[in-house]
Structure 1
């Protein structure tokens, strides 16, 4: 599956859902978003339904409402986005080189640590 980034509101909704460790209703997501910005309940409902239809969320009917959960973690989604970049048809060595040039020292240390664990066969 080709992975693409989210639209602006989709990204906001996914951030809310990723920050939770349990299924969430449209009402609970709307209430959280409405505390920070003006947004209609139906807009949140449509966005979550779109994310479900696109395969980003699962949902189960509980009583009269659906409860939604992300299909993958934020980290899994980010990793799939990175993989998509390498499969984009550009020169993957150049892409990686440009990426590495933009890394902070902290990011570089984390990358070295993960690569070392992978070489040693340790689980992540």
Structure 2
């Protein structure tokens, strides 16, 4: 049996590094678990302890994602009315934004700040002043 060691063929270099870490989520984990159950040997099924451990991992992953989302919401709403400085990518060009946070909104699980008619991702904030 040959083993493929050419890992670079499978790496999409167009994906930002931040997205590589978040590429596997709870849906992927659940899909892997279901695939594992479908393809197990009926004469030698998965040990129930392994199954329970995997379900506990799934539950932990889901709770961590919920906690992270809640933390980002609190972080975003705490910036309302404060003056921030951020660096955003506007069409491939880095742009510095300075101003008072006038609003907060969420889109696709990401929180954005409304500053001077610009939508600033919360992770782009560099400094905060009152």
Indicate the TM-score class for this superposition, using the shorter chain for normalisation.
under 0.3
* More helix by percentage: 1
- Structure of greater relative contact order (alpha carbons < 8 Å, 6+ residues apart): 1
Bigger Cα Rg: 2
Name the structure with the higher strand share.
2
